[in-house]
Amino acid sequence: MFRGKKLIEASDIISTPDSGYRVENFEKLIAGSDLVVIGTVDKVHPATNRNISSDKSDPFYAVYTDLDIKAEQIIFGEINQGTQDMFKMKQLGGLYDGKEYPTYEPILEEGKTYLFFLATFDKLGIPEEPYTLVGTDEIVVPVEDGIVKFHPSLTLTDPLSTKQIKDETSTNHEVVLKIDDVIAEVVRIDNYLPEPIYNIDNYLPDMPDPDNK
């Protein structure tokens, strides 16, 4: 795993992915996910600093913000912790011990509903760790009135690219789609893909140890 080399201050915060892994297209986003679910943020917990290494003799500390998610609709995968309608996920960074640590995307908001593309830590031998987001800007996908908006950097598959909705109110050139069209394409892709190819151990970002000041 990578190790942090310096303390990163709030001024260093950048907008990058939860895992540091850039997903170039929609198919790879699905291939990298263990769970795709529509869910509502029930609670955002205070950020904590914890050892997420599967080898406790070789610790890896990072600041994370945990969130309780209420599952509204599971599109594929199974929830492996919590209950079938409530689970935990985490975002890298947050406010800890009076300092703001890097968040690759703004911490999600309580009460808002999102389309989540999530990976587990099962392969690292720590399945109790909360789910983490897959990808970069394109993985934070709010759901509102049956519509979702992806980051414009995400390349769509052919079926989805023909179903984009023109949104005159958009100022960021988001990719606007009906959630039903996205769900149908997720299911179609999942039916022919092999097991998830995402390996989070290869993409852990270089993070500081906040307790080593």
Q: Amino acid identity of 2?
A: F
Nearest Cα residue to 49 out of 4, 105, 116, 14: 4
What are the structural domains of the chain?
Answer: 10-139 (2.40.50)
Three-class SS of residue 109?
coil
Across 55-75, average pLDDT: 89
Question: Between β-strands 86-92 and 131-133, what pairing exists: parallel, antiparallel or unpaired?
Answer: parallel
User: How many percent of the chain have pLDDT more than 70?
Assistant: 71
CA 193 to chain centre: 20
% of the chain surpassing 90 pLDDT: 28
pLDDT score for 204? 37
Q: Is residue 10 very low, low, confident or very high in pLDDT (cuts 50, 70, 90)?
A: very low
Please report the pLDDT score of residue 45 as a whole number: 95
Each residue of 19-53: pLDDT tens digit?
445 677 888 888 888 899 999 999 999 999 988 77
Neighbour tally for 114: CB within 10 Å:
23
d(CA 73, CA 75): 6
210 band by pLDDT with thresholds 50, 70 and 90: low
> Is pLDDT at 130 greater than 90 in this prediction?
no
15 vs 143, higher pLDDT: 143
- pLDDT for 20 equals 46
The rounded mean pLDDT for the chain is: 76
- Identity of residue 111: G
Task: Quote the pLDDT of residue 13.
Answer: 30
Which residue type does 128 have? E
State pLDDT tens for residues 176-204: 999 999 999 999 998 877 554 444 334 33
Structure tokens at 89: 């996920």
Tokens of 209: 């140890």
Please write the tens of the pLDDT for every residue from 100-127. 887 777 889 999 999 999 988 766 666 6
Round to whole Å and give the CA distance between 124 and 203: 13
Which pLDDT band, with edges at 50, 70 and 90, does 16 fall under? very low
Of 10-14, 20-24, 62-66, give the lowest mean pLDDT range: 10-14
